[in-house]
Structure 1
Amino acid sequence: MKQLLDLLTLGPQSTVMDAVTCIEAGKQKIAFVIEPDGRLVGVVVDGDVRRYLLSGGSTDALVEHCMNRHFKSVRIDAPREELLKLFDLGYHAIPGVDEHGRLCDIYTRQLRAEPEVPILTRARAPVRMSFCGGGSDLTYFFVDHAAAVLNCTVALYSHATLLPRADGVINIYAEDLNQHEHYADIQELLQHENKSLLSSVVSLIRPEHGFDLYLRSDFPVGSGLGGSSAATTAVIAAFNELRQDHWNAYEIAELAFQAERLCFGVSGGWQDQYASAFGGFNLMEFENQNNRVHPIRLEESVRSELEACLLLCDTGVSHDSGNLHEQQRQEMQPMSSQSESLKASVSLCRRMHHYLIRSELNRFGRCLHEIWMLKKQFSKGVSSTHFDGIYEAALAAGALGGKLLGAGGGGFFLFYVQPPSRRAVVQALKAFGCTPTNFRFDFDGVTSWRTKTQ
C-alpha cells in the first residue's frame, strides 16, 4: 500500500506537469496532493488539468492552481457499505484519511473482501424436565424390558465458548466449579489419570489444535435437571461447530453419553443427553438395538397452559445422581418389586403421553403424583422425611401432583398447580426453604454458532 501511495501522491510545491505524470502512472488516473505532515489537501484528475490548461494555465504552475480542494474522502475505518455506495455514485478512487486528515489508504472498485480473522465458537444446551419413565432408560433395564421416557427441555442452559489457539496449549475453565485445567498439549491431557468431565469430552474429540474452553450454567450443580449432560452436550456442540461434517443430534447425544457415563464414570440413563441434544417435548423409547426420539407437537395454547401450571422450585439440597443410580442398580440386581415398579412407570409414561397430546392437562398433572409414588419404590435414597414433608405440604395447599426431578434425593421439585392455588402452594414451599424458579420451555435443543474474536 505504501508503494501505491508514493506513486499517486505529490506535494503542494509540485507542478501541474508533475500531476500529469502522477496521474498517468496509476490505473486509477488520479493524484493526491499532501502536505509534508501527510494531510490530504487536494485531489487532481484528468478533467481538472484539462480545464485548467484550457483556461490559459501553464504546466509549469504549482499543482495547487488546478487541484480540487472539495474532494470526497472517508475515514479509514469506514464500513464497506459506505464505500460501495460512493462507487455506485461514480467514484473510482476514494482516499481514506485518519482523524487528522492524513492520507492512509486509497479505496478502489477492486476493494478486496475482508481477510479471515480468528473465530470462536459458542454453544448452549438446555436442561431437561423429566415427567415420567426415568429409570427405565438405564441400560441394564431396557436390554430386557420395554422402556419409555416422557420429557421436555426448559430454557436454562449450559453455555460453552471455545477459542482455538495457534499453539497446542489447552485451558479448560469451569466457572460454576471455579476450576481451571491446564495442559501443554492433547497428549498430556490424554495421559492424565484423573480427568474431569470436560477433559473426558476432549479426550473423545481429540482436537488437533490447542484451545481455551469456558463453561458456565444457568442452574446450580446437583439440580436434578440433567445439568452435567447439558454441559457435556454444549461442549461437544462447540467443537462440532468447527467441523466440516457436523455430527447430527443422535451422534452428539451418543458422544455425550459416552463421555459422561463411560469415560467419566457417572452412572445414569440415556434420556438426559438426548433431551439436551434434541430439545422440545419428546417421547423417547429405548431398547437393546435402537434408541428413538419422537418429537411431540403441541398447540401453543397447550404449551402456554402447561407453563402456567407447572411450578419448579429449588429445594436447596444438592444430590448425586450417579450414586443414586448405582444404588438403584444394586437394589435391582435380583428380580424384585423395583423392576415391576419400572414397568409400571413405563406404562404410566404412555398414559401421560396420551393425556398430553390430547390436552388433558389436569389428568396429566395428577399422574405426577402416581409417578412420585412409584419413584420412591426404586430406591431408599429417592426421598426422605424432609422431602416427604415438602410434598405433603404442596398437596395440602392445592397441588395436583409433583415429583423430585432426576434421580431424586435433592435438587428441584416439580409440581402441577392450577393457577388459583399457585400462591398458596408457593407459600407452603417457601416455609420449607424452597425457592420457586421461573422458566420457559425450550424447543431448539443444543445450538451452536461461530463469531469473530475481534
Structure 2
Amino acid sequence: MNPLVQTLSIGANRSILDAVKCIEAGALQIAFVVAEDMRLLGVVTNGDVRRHLLQGGLTDQPVTTCMNQEFRSVRFGAPREDLLKAFDLGHNALPGLDTEGRLVEVYTRQMAASAEAPVLARARAPVRMSFGGGGSDLTYYFVDNPAAVLSCTVGLYAHATLIPRTDLKIRIFSEDLGTEEHYQNLNELLATEHKSLLATIVSVIKPRNGVDIYIRSDFPVGSGLGGSSAVTTAVIAAFNELRQDRWSIYEVAELAFQAERLCFGIAGGWQDQYASAFGGFNLIEFEQGRNVVHPIRLEDAIRSELEECLVLCNTGISHDSGKLHVQQREEMTSQQSKAALLTESVVLCRQMHHHLIRGELQKFGQQLHEVWMLKKRFSRGVSDNTLDRIYETACEAGALGGKLLGAGGGGFFLFYVQPQHRQALTRSVQSLGCTISNFRFESSGVTSWRTKIQ
C-alpha cells in the first residue's frame, strides 16, 4: 500500500478520537475514512471534528458520524493538468480512486514529477534528387580539381527506430529486404566477416549496450535516389539522438560516408550523405581540404513552379550504383579525354545553379538534357537501348530535358516538362512500363526525436 495512503486512512469502525490522532499525525490535516476493502467513504478534517463537538457530539463516537461524504476525488492516474487545476482551486490533498472507488493514492501539491521512463529514438532521412555535377564528388577527381554538385531533397524517407536494450544483444530488422539479423553482442557482430550495410553501420558506431534497430523506406531499392545513404544517415541520426554530446550535421554525413563507402565498400561519391543530412536545395562544393554545403534560398514562386514542372519517373529497372561507379572510375582514369568530362560537368552544374536561383527554369530544364547527354559519355553502363527509348519518348511527349538520377543504369528518370504536357508525357512513359511517382520538395534534412517506450 502507498505509505501516504496507509498513514492518512482510517477504518470506518474507528472513533473520532482515533481520527483526530490520524489527522494530527500528518502534515495535510486530513484523514480518509475507508471500508474494509479500501472503498473511500468520506473525509475528516479538524473543522469537521470541531463542528461535531460544538453540536454536542462525543469523541468516542464512530468517525462516520462526523465525516464529510461530499468530498472531491480524482481517478487514479489522472493527468497532471487536472490535478494542478484542482489544487489551484484551493484543495491541499486529493484522494485518487480506482474504478471501484477504492483509495489507492493521495495526491498533494508536492507530488513528484513523473519518473524517468525508458525511451527509444526515431529518425528519418530524405532522399536526394541530383540535378548536375554528379561524378565530380568522387574523391579521386576532387583531390586535384574543384568539384560541385547541385541537388535537393524530396519527401521520400528512410525511417529508423532504435530501441535500447538492457542486455548486450543486437537485433536488426529490415522491412525493405525482409531480413533479420541477430547478434549476441557487439564482438560477435564485429567478428562477422560479411556484414550487411546495417550491421556495418553498427560496427562503426560501436554502441556500449544492446539495441534493436528497425528500418523501412518509402522508395524501392536501386532507385537512384541515394537510398542507401538515406538509410545510413537515418540510422546514425537515431544513435545520435541518444547521445549527450551530439554530432554535428557534418559529422553525421561523414560517419555515413565512412560506414557506407569505406567500411561496407559501396563505391560512390560524397553528395548523397551530405544531401540527406542537410536537406533542402544545396550547392555542395568538394575540394581536397574541405567539403562545404551552401544552402540555396529559392523564392516561393520559383520553388513551386519547379515542383510543378518536374516529373519523377520510375523505370522499374534496378541498378547497382557501386558497380557503375567502379566502372566509371576505371574508364575515367584510363582515358584522359573522359576525365575532362567531369570538369565539363562542374561547369554545367554552376550554370544550372545560376539559372535556378534567378528563376530561369526553362533554361534549367534544357540543361538537364545537356547533363544527361554528358553523363551518358561517362561510362558505357550509364544507359542502354531501353533507357534511351524511355528518354526519347518523354522528349517527344514534351519534356525539355531530363536525366537518370544517381549513377545510371536504371532507377528513376527526372524530366522537366511544362504542366500542360505532363499528361501526354505520363501516358507515353507508362506505355513503356514506367510509373510516375508523386513527390514534394523537402526543406529539412535528417530529423530525429525520442519518445517513451510504450
* TM interval, short-chain normalised: over 0.9
Q: 2:356: which partner in 1?
A: 356
1:360-403 Cα shifts (integer Å, max 9, x gaps): 00100000000000000000010010010000010001000001
Contact conserved, 2:333 with 2:339, CA < 8 A, in 1? no
- 3-state SS of the aligned residue for 1:377? coil
Q: How many Å apart are 1:244 and its aligned residue?
A: 1.0
Q: 1:158: which partner in 2?
A: 158
Q: 1:185: which partner in 2?
A: 185
Q: Aligned runs of 1:62-73 on 2, under 5 Å?
A: 62-73=62-73
- What amino acid maps onto 2:35 in structure 1? E
**Take 2:111 and 2:4, find their aligned partners in 1: how far apart are those partners?**
14
**Take 1:236 and 1:262, find their aligned partners in 2: how far apart are those partners?**
15
Alignment size in residue pairs: 454
Q: 2:24: which partner in 1?
A: 24
Structure 2 unmatched ranges of 5 or more = none
**Take 2:65 and 2:345, find their aligned partners in 1: how far apart are those partners?**
94
Q: Aligned runs of 1:227-238 on 2, under 5 Å?
A: 227-238=227-238
The yes-or-no answer on 1:254 pairing with 2:224 is no
**Take 2:8 and 2:77, find their aligned partners in 1: how far apart are those partners?**
21
Q: How many Å apart are 1:87 and its aligned residue?
A: 1.0
**TM-score, normalization: structure 1?**
0.99
Q: 1:378: which partner in 2?
A: 378
Q: Aligned runs of 1:311-322 on 2, under 5 Å?
A: 311-322=311-322
Q: 2:438: which partner in 1?
A: 438
Q: Aligned runs of 1:256-271 on 2, under 5 Å?
A: 256-271=256-271
**TM-score, normalization: structure 2?**
0.99
**Take 2:270 and 2:199, find their aligned partners in 1: how far apart are those partners?**
20
Q: Aligned runs of 1:82-97 on 2, under 5 Å?
A: 82-97=82-97
Contact conserved, 2:34 with 2:40, CA < 8 A, in 1? yes
1:3-28 Cα shifts (integer Å, max 9, x gaps): 33222111222111111111111111
Q: 1:5: which partner in 2?
A: 5
Q: How many Å apart are 1:78 and its aligned residue?
A: 0.2
Q: 1:299: which partner in 2?
A: 299
1:286-320 Cα shifts (integer Å, max 9, x gaps): 11111111111101111111110000011001000
**Take 2:2 and 2:418, find their aligned partners in 1: how far apart are those partners?**
74
Q: 1:389: which partner in 2?
A: 389
Q: 2:130: which partner in 1?
A: 130
- What amino acid maps onto 2:351 in structure 1? R
1:406-440 Cα shifts (integer Å, max 9, x gaps): 00000000000001111110011101111000000
- RMSD, aligned CA: 0.8
Give structure 1 regions of 4+ aligned residues with deviation exceeding 6 angstroms: none
The yes-or-no answer on 1:310 pairing with 2:310 is yes
- 3-state SS of the aligned residue for 1:162? strand
Worse overlay, 4-13 or 249-258: 4-13
Q: 1:107: which partner in 2?
A: 107
**Take 1:305 and 1:148, find their aligned partners in 2: how far apart are those partners?**
24
Q: 1:243: which partner in 2?
A: 243
Q: How many Å apart are 1:71 and its aligned residue?
A: 0.5
Q: How many Å apart are 1:334 and its aligned residue?
A: 2.2
Contact conserved, 2:132 with 2:348, CA < 8 A, in 1? yes
Q: How many Å apart are 1:338 and its aligned residue?
A: 1.6
Q: 2:205: which partner in 1?
A: 205
**Take 2:287 and 2:3, find their aligned partners in 1: how far apart are those partners?**
70
1:316-355 Cα shifts (integer Å, max 9, x gaps): 0100000000000111122422212111111000000000
Q: 2:324: which partner in 1?
A: 324
Q: 2:50: which partner in 1?
A: 50
**Take 1:125 and 1:4, find their aligned partners in 2: how far apart are those partners?**
49
